[in-house]
């Protein structure tokens, strides 16, 4: 079946550090891939997405590249800020009409 | 961008009572909405897919008589937790699909339910 596996947290970094959160997926066909962010006490916000192989999604300094050969969609940011502290979810969707399948989430804490 | 609202944002109720949660798409019509449940520090799990004008499709293991879903209009879906118990306490999140313009799911801010 379709599934998403992402790096377990929590992840704690100092401000301005480089961030990588690993995400791999299992799916038939060519799913769309997403990263969502959830700030404390809030709902989900779409951070970025990619719909086909080799696409790079980017937003707010975050990037992720859809790698079909490694079935991965790792999230990266060159210099994190305290305000990036949140829970990050990797997710996939087989088609626009289907449900979104989420990974377990990675809690990120940034120290000043 | 497209906005999805939920009401209430949080609710506390006594065991045995029923609670209704509303999910509205504010600036687009949604023939399909989805209801998710999130336990503390865990991921979102899909409960059911709500289709306007027809019965909802429930995921395996979700009690349809316990979690009643109504999608009576193109902008509103409701989830009613019937005879709530403390184990139903959770964060409930809906999403709505904008099929016409962006073909994207947009998430609501969530409703935190606490059953005493």
* A96 against B87, higher pLDDT: B87
* Alpha carbon separation from B64 to A40, A55, B12, B69 (Å, rounded): 30, 39, 22, 8
A18: closest CA of chain B, how far (Å): 24
DSSP states of A72-91? B--EEESS--GGG-EEEEEE
Q: Tens of pLDDT along A4-28? A: 999 888 999 999 999 999 999 999 8
Segment A40-45 shows an average pLDDT of 82
Q: So what's the pLDDT on residue B32?
A: 92
**Closest residue of A to B92, CA-based?**
A43
User: Taking 70 as the threshold, does the pLDDT of residue A34 lie above it?
Assistant: yes
Test the B interface: residue of A3, A43, A98, A104 with most B CBs within 10 Å: A43
Shortest distance between the Cα of A108 and any Cα of chain B, in A, equals 12
Which residue in A has a C-alpha nearest to residue B34's C-alpha? A99
Contact A96 B97 (CB under 8 A): yes
Is residue A65 within 8 A of residue A55, CB to CB? The reply is yes
Task: Kindly determine whether residue B110 and residue A43, on different chains, have CB atoms separated by under 8 Å.
Answer: yes
Q: What is the phi/psi pair of residue B32, to 5°?
A: -130, 130
Mean pLDDT over each residue of chain B, to the nearest integer: 92
By C-alpha distance, the chain B residue nearest A43 is: B109
pLDDT at A95: 86
Task: Tell me how close the Cα of A40 comes to any Cα of chain B, in angstroms.
Answer: 11
* pLDDT level of residue A99 (50, 70, 90 thresholds): confident
B93 to A3, A71, A81, B29, B43: CA distances (angstroms) = 20, 28, 27, 18, 11
Q: Which of B24, B50, B105 to mutate to test the interface with A (most CBs of A within 10 A)?
A: B105
- pLDDT of B104 over the 80 cut: yes
Are A76 and A62 in contact by the 8 Å Cβ rule? The answer is yes
User: CB–CB of B36/B43 below 8 Å?
Assistant: no
Does A103 contact B42 at a Cβ distance shorter than 8 Å?
no
pLDDT of residue B1: 65
Q: Are B32 and A99 in contact (CB under 8 A)?
A: no
* Distance separating alpha carbons of residues B37 and B47, to the nearest angstrom: 7
pLDDT value for B39: 85
Q: Residues of chain B with pLDDT > 90: what percent?
A: 76
Whether A89 has its CB under 8 Å from any CB of chain B: the answer is yes
pLDDT of the residue at B90: 94
* Cα–Cα distances in angstroms (integers) from residue B37 to residues B1, B33, B45, in the given order: 24, 14, 5
Mean pLDDT in residue range B63-74: 93
């Amino acid at each position: 079946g379709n599934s998403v596996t992402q790096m377990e947290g929590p992840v704690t970094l100092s401000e301005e550090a480089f961030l990588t959160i690993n995400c791999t997926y299992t799916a038939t066909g060519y799913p769309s891939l997403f990263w969502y962010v959830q700030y404390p006490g809030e709902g989900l916000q779409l951070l970025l997405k990619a719909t086909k192989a080799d696409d790079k999604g980017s937003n707010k300094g975050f990037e992720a590249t859809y790698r079909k050969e490694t079935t991965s969609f790792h999230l990266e940011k060159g210099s994190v800020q305290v305000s990036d502290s949140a829970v990050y979810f990797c997710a996939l969707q087989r088609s626009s009409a289907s449900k979104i399948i989420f990974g377990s989430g990675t809690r990120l804490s940034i120290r000043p | 961008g497209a906005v999805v609202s939920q009401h209430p944002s949080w609710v506390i109720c006594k065991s045995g009572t029923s609670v209704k949660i509303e999910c509205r798409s504010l600036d687009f019509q949604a023939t399909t909405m989805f209801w998710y449940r999130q336990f503390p520090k865990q991921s979102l799990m899909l409960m059911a897919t709500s289709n306007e004008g027809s019965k909802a499709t429930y995921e395996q293991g979700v009690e349809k008589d316990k979690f009643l879903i109504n999608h009576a209009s193109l902008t509103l879906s409701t989830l009613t937790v019937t005879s709530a118990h403390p184990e139903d306490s959770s964060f409930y999140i809906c999403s709505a699909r904008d099929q016409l313009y962006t073909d994207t799911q947009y998430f609501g801010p969530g409703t935190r339910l606490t059953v005493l």
